[in-house]
Amino acid sequence: METAATALTFRDATAADVDELVALIESAYRGDDSRVGWTTEADILEGQRTDPEGVLEVVKSPDSRLLTVERDGRIVACCQLEHRGENAYFGMFAVSPLLQGAGLGKLIIAEAERQAGEDWGVKEMQMTVISVRDDLIAWYERRGYRRTGRTTPFPYGDERFGIPQRDDLAFELLVKELA
């Protein structure tokens, strides 16, 4: 019987992975392909979610890593971990829409938390989520994250982050204490 954890390989991304990672991230959040999964932002944002330059910057940054998840030699998920002093930032989280809802995300976030705690000794994981993404925020709350009520404005006018389809977007900070 196959489980979510069947034959998963975790590794840090390299520059050679950038194009495949951009395609994965875009498929999880934008356009019609993203509607297969539940993490789509297609109704609130159009345009790109990321670009090769942004992904390569994360891959090359000395304080950051792009944790890449493979199954059968194919990249099926990824997430960014950034060391920020006593905390780690979790972002750029994407799971292939065809694999969403099978428990893969839970395994990946748990592994990301484990690695950030072990490798950097951080006490807290932080992330920002678009504040109108109620289902996604609820999913993170079930993983132990809590809403802080602290928000930062969405970068309206900067198409590197997408083209907003509504005028009430902001990023809310979520945090989780790590054991």
In tens, the pLDDT along 143-159 reads 999 999 999 998 888 77
The pLDDT assigned to 159 comes to: 77
Phi, psi values for residue 153, rounded to 5°: -65, 145
67 falls in which pLDDT band (50, 70, 90)?
A: very high
**Residues 171, 126 contacting (CB under 8 angstroms):** no
Q: Give residue 166's identity as a one-letter amino acid code.
A: R
Q: Is the pLDDT of residue 2 over 70?
A: no
- Share above pLDDT 90 across residues of the chain, in percent, rounded to a whole number: 62
Residues 6+ apart with CB under 8 A from 58: 13, 64, 65, 66, 80, 82, 92
The pLDDT assigned to 1 comes to: 42
Q: Give residue 164's identity as a one-letter amino acid code.
A: P
pTM for this predicted structure: 0.88
Q: Is the pLDDT of residue 78 over 80?
A: yes
